[in-house]
Amino acid sequence: MPARRKPIRVMLIDCRPLVLMGLHDLINAKRPWMEVCGEATTYTRALDLADQLSPDVIFFSFFPDALDPLEVITGLARSAETKVLVLKGLYEAAPVAQAIELGARGIVLAEDPTESIVQAIIKVHRRDIGLDRAWAGGLSGYAASGHIPLKCNVEQEKQAQLTLRERELIRAIVGDPSAKYMSIAVRLGISEHTVHNHLSNIYHKLKLVNRVDLLMYALKHGLTNDDDDPPESSWVELDRTSHQDKTV
């Protein structure tokens, strides 16, 4: 009989009791796959607790504190076994590019569906450290120069899977990052449910986790140009057909 896999041990850092409670309930509801092993409401306590517990994943939020949050991220990310995920609200200003450069492994949007947050924990826990460092380096360069197109066969193969409608949705999201899904749906003439379906397909094809990941990826890889000419395929035709059926 195969041995049961150990749960992913998650530590939470946030000064807001309601946020801590919500994350605690969400993560512990996924036992035995993952569980909360500790919570900290100050950065000093977070550093001490991380040393004591050696968690697998740390949810990190930016908030006013005596310690510099970026220095705290550097300290938390020193352990190769611990992966730092930054939790950010859609309208919160946070130095996410610097956080990735200093060792954070990803960004989770607080407004994302709960299942997306759970998947972010799983993916960042399993992801190879070499791939993370390469991605962090690319994001660091992007933050410094504004835009760095990546000429990579792997990325081109992933992007070739995108349908015309999916590319249109990506441009709409990048054009107005703070827009609600309903607003995007009205602009594109589709339902909000269809927007979510397209986004799910986009995340799967590009190996992304959430909307913040998509924004960074699209800007970095030039998916915002209106003159994109994706290859024709049965997938594109199926997508167009399904849209026409809904609008008749």
Class of domain 149-247: mainly alpha
CA pair distance 92, 111, nearest whole angstrom: 11
Average pLDDT, the chain: 77
For residue range 90-130, list pLDDT tens digits in order. Answer: 777 778 778 887 888 888 888 888 888 888 888 888 863 32
- Give me the mean pLDDT over the 81-87 stretch: 90
pLDDT over 50 at 24, yes or no: yes
How much is the pLDDT for 26? 95
Question: What residue ranges do the domains of the chain occupy?
Answer: 8-143, 149-247
Highest mean pLDDT: which range of 64-73, 104-113, 130-139 = 64-73
The CATH number of the structural domain formed by 8-143 is 3.40.50.2300
Give just the sign of the alpha carbon dihedral 205, 114, 88, 172.
positive
> Which of residues 245 and 32 earns the better pLDDT score?
32
How much is the pLDDT for 175? 82
Residue type at 23?
Answer: L
How much is the pLDDT for 127? 67
For residue range 202-231, list pLDDT tens digits in order. Answer: 998 888 888 888 888 887 777 766 544 433
CA pair distance 126, 133, nearest whole angstrom: 14
Least confident of 122-126, 165-169, 196-200, 240-244: 240-244
Other C-beta atoms closer than 10 Å to the C-beta of 12 total 26
pLDDT over 70 at 155, yes or no: yes
Residue indicated by tokens 């140009």: 225
pTM above 0.75, yes or no: no
pLDDT over 60 at 232, yes or no: no
- DSSP for the chain reads -PPPPPPEEEEEE-S-HHHHHHHHHHHHTTTTTEEEEEEESSHHHHHHHHHHH--SEEEEE----SS-HHHHHHHHTTSTT-EEEEEE-TT----HHHHHHTT--EEEETTS-HHHHHHHHHHHHHS-HHHHHHHHHHHHHHHHHS------HHHHHHHHT--HHHHHHHHHHHHSTT--HHHHHHHHTS-HHHHHHHHHHHHHHHT--SHHHHHHHHHHTTTT-TT--PPP-HHHHHHHHHHHHHH-
Other C-beta atoms closer than 10 Å to the C-beta of 80 total 8
How much is the pLDDT for 4? 59
Q: Do domains 8-143 and 149-247 have the same CATH topology?
A: no
